[in-house]
C-alpha cells in the first residue's frame, strides 16, 4: 500500500481527503501517514531475516516527536548527532540501549550527556574525540562504549553535498589511521571498543557503494581481530535513496542482500541508520496556490509554502513531484515558487505540471525527510504545522506558532 493516493480524483492520505485536513488546519502543512511509516519500518526490519541487527532511525531526517514515538514503539532505535537530537530521541521513547550518537563535532557537554544517558554506543569521529571521551568517562566514572567512524573512500554517485565517504570528506578517519585509533581505544582505561561505523552519503540508488563500504569495514574488522580487538557491531550508516523522479532505488531486501556476503565473513550485529528511505515517502507538503503569474518569458505558480519549508530544491537542485490535490485536465509549464525574497526560492523550475489556478491545493511529494527538520523561519515566516493521519483520523502533531511565539525568546 501507499499512504497517499487519488480516490475519485481527490488526493487522499490513508482514508482522508487532504482537502478536509487543509480546511481544518489551514495551509501550508506537512502531512504524514502512520501506516506508510510502519510498513516501511517493518519491511526493513524483515529484510534482515536471520542477521542480528539494529535499525537506528536518523532523527535528522525527521525529528517530529509523534512520528518518532511510532518508530520507538515499533522497536526501532535512533541515530542522533547532537545533544538536542539525543534529548528528542529520549523524549520520543527510544530505549537508550538502542541509540547511537554520531557526528564529527560533538561537544564536551554532549559527550557527557551521552555517557550519562547510557546509550548503546558513541561513534567517534577522530582520535582527538577518543581522547576527550576517555577523559570525560574517567571524570564521571563510566566506561564509554565506542565505535569509530571510518572513511572508506567510496564514491556513492550522489549529489556532492550529500557524499560523505570520499577521501576528501570531513567525516571519519582513514583506514590506516583507524588502526592507531583502535589500539589507543583498546588500551584506554575508560573506553570499550564495540564497533565500527561508516556513512558514505545520502540518496544512493544502487547497492554497489554500500557493498563496497561494507567490504572495507569487514576487512578492517578482520584486521582488528588479528590484533585482539573484537567488535560487537558493524554500522553501515544510512543513505539508501527513494524515488523522487525517475531513479529506481533498490528495495530493502536488495540492500540488505548486498551486505550479507560481507557480513557472513564477520557475523556480528549490523546497524543501519536510515533516514530518507524510512520517512521520505511518508510525508507530503500541502500548499495552496496564491497566484498564477505570467511574465513575458515565464509562468509562475506562486504558493504559500516556500524554500524555508523545503530547502531541498534550492540546496540540491532536488526534484519533488508536485500533484494537484484535485485532479485537473490539461498541463502547462511553470516555475513553482514561494514568497521568500530570493530568486533561489523555488520548488520546481520549467516544470510540466497539471494546470492549476489560484486557490487550488498542491501536494508536494516525498516531503517526509529533510523537510520539516531543515525548515527555518527565514523572512519571519513561522514554522508550519505537521499533521499525522491514522486511518480515517488526523491530528495536529505540531501546531502553527503565533507571531508572538515565534519571537518568544527575543527581548
CB neighbourhood size of 154 (10 A): 24
Distance CA 395, CA 50 (A): 37
54 is a site residue for ligand PLP (CB under 6 A): no
237 is a site residue for ligand PLP (CB under 6 A): yes
89 is a site residue for ligand PLP (CB under 6 A): no
Kindly tell me which of 27 and 202 has the beta carbon lying closer to ligand PLP: 202
Q: Which segment (185-193, 273-281, 286-294, 295-303) binds ligand PLP by CB under 6 A?
A: 273-281
Helix orientation angle between 252-263 and 34-47, rounded to the nearest 10 degrees: 30
For cell 572513511, the residue is: 151
Q: Which positions are annotated as active-site residues?
A: 341
> Which one of 40, 190, 276, 398 is in contact with ligand PLP (CB under 6 A)?
276
Kindly tell me which of 273 and 304 has the beta carbon lying closer to ligand PLP: 273
331: left (phi over 0), alpha (psi -120 to 50) or beta: beta
Q: Which segment (125-133, 210-218, 238-246, 355-363) binds ligand PLP by CB under 6 A?
A: 238-246
> Which one of 40, 53, 145, 199 is in contact with ligand PLP (CB under 6 A)?
199
Quote the cell numbers at residue 55: 535499525
106 is a site residue for ligand PLP (CB under 6 A): no
Q: Which segment (57-65, 67-75, 307-315, 331-339) binds ligand PLP by CB under 6 A?
A: 57-65
Supply the minimum distance, in Å, between the C-beta of residue 291 and ligand PLP: 34
Distance CA 200, CA 160 (A): 11
Q: Which of residues 58-77 bind ligand PLP (CB under 6 A)?
A: 58, 60-61
CB–CB of 314/346 below 8 Å?
yes
Kindly tell me which of 60 and 190 has the beta carbon lying closer to ligand PLP: 60
The DSSP letter of residue 281 is G
Q: Is 96 helix (H, G, I), strand (E, B) or coil?
A: helix
196 is a site residue for ligand PLP (CB under 6 A): no
Q: Any residues with CB less than 8 A from the CB of 289 and at least 6 apart, and which?
A: 301, 302, 303, 356, 357, 358, 359, 360, 361, 362
Q: Which segment (108-116, 216-224, 272-280, 383-391) binds ligand PLP by CB under 6 A?
A: 272-280
Closest CA to 5 of 353, 385, 372, 363: 363
DSSP lists the bridge partners of residue 9 as: none
Supply the minimum distance, in Å, between the C-beta of residue 202 and ligand PLP: 3
Question: What distance lies between CA 171 and its chain's CA centroid?
Answer: 17
Kindly tell me which of 3 and 156 has the beta carbon lying closer to ligand PLP: 156
Interacting residue ranges for ligand PLP, rule: CB under 6 A: 58, 60-61, 79, 102, 199, 202, 237-240, 273-277, 369
Amino acid at each position: 500500500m501507499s499512504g497517499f493516493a487519488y480516490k475519485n480524483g481527490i488526493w487522499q492520505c490513508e482514508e482522508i481527503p487532504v482537502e478536509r485536513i487543509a480546511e481544518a488546519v489551514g495551509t501550508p502543512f506537512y502531512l504524514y501517514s502512520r501506516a506508510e511509516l510502519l510498513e516501511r519500518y517493518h519491511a526493513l526490519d524483515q529484510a534482515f531475516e536471520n542477521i542480528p541487527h539494529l535499525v537506528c532511525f536518523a532523527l535528522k531526517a525527521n525529528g517530529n516527536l509523534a512520528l518518532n514515538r511510532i518508530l520507538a514503539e515499533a522497536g526501532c532505535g535512533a541515530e542522533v548527532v547532537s545533544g538536542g537530537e539525543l534529548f528528542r530521541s529520549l523524549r520520543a521513547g527510544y530505549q537508550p540501549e538502542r541509540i547511537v550518537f554520531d557526528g564529527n563535532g560533538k561537544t564536551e557537554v554532549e559527550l557527557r550527556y551521552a555517557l550519562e544517558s547510557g546509550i548503546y554506543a558513541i561513534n567517534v569521529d577522530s582520535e582527538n574525540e577518543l581522547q576527550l571521551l576517555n577523559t570525560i568517562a574517567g571524570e564521571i566514572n563510566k566506561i564509554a562504549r565506542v565505535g569509530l567512524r571510518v572513511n572508506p573512500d567510496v564514491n556513492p554517485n550522489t549529489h556532492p553535498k550529500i557524499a560523505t565517504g570520499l577521501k576528501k570528506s570531513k567525516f571519519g578517519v582513514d583506514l590506516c589511521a583507524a588502526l592507531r585509533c583502535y589500539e589507543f581505544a583498546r588500551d584506554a582505561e575508560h573506553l570499550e571498543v564495540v564497533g565500527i561505523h561508516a556513512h558514505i552519503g545520502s540518496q544512493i540508488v544502487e547497492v554497489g557503494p554500500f557493498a563496497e563500504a561494507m567490504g572495507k569495514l569487514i576487512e578492517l574488522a578482520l584486521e582488528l581481530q588479528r590484533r585482539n580487538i573484537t567488535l560487537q557491531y558493524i554500522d553501515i550508516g544510512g543513505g539508501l535513496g527513494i524515488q523522487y523522479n525517475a531513479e529506481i532505488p533498490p528495495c530493502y531486501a536488495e540492500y540488505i542482500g548486498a551486505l550479507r556476503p560481507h557480513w557472513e565473513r564477520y557475523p556480528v550485529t549490523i546497524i543501519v541508520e536510515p533516514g530518507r528511505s524510512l520517512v521520505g515517502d511518508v510525508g507530503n507538503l500541502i500548499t495552496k496556490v496564491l497566484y498564477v503569474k505570467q511574465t513575458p518569458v515565464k509562468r509562475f505558480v506562486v504558493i504559500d509554502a516556500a524554500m524555508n519549508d523545503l530547502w531541498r530544491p534550492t540546496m540540491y537542485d532536488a526534484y519533488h513531484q508536485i500533484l494537484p490535490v484535485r485532479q485537473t485536465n490539461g498541463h502547462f509549464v511553470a516555475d513553482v515558487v514561494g514568497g521568500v525574497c530570493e530568486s533561489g526560492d523555488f520548488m520546481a523550475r520549467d516544470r510540466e505540471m497539471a494546470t492549476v489556478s489560484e486557490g487550488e491545493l498542491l501536494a508536494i511529494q516525498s516531503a517526509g525527510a529533510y523537510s520539516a527538520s531543515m525548515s527555518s523561519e527565514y523572512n519571519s515566516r513561522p514554522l508550519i504545522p505537521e499533521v499525522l493521519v491514522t486511518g480515517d483520523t488526523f491530528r495536529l502533531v505540531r501546531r502553527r506558532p503565533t507571531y508572538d511565539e515565534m519571537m518568544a525568546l527575543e527581548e
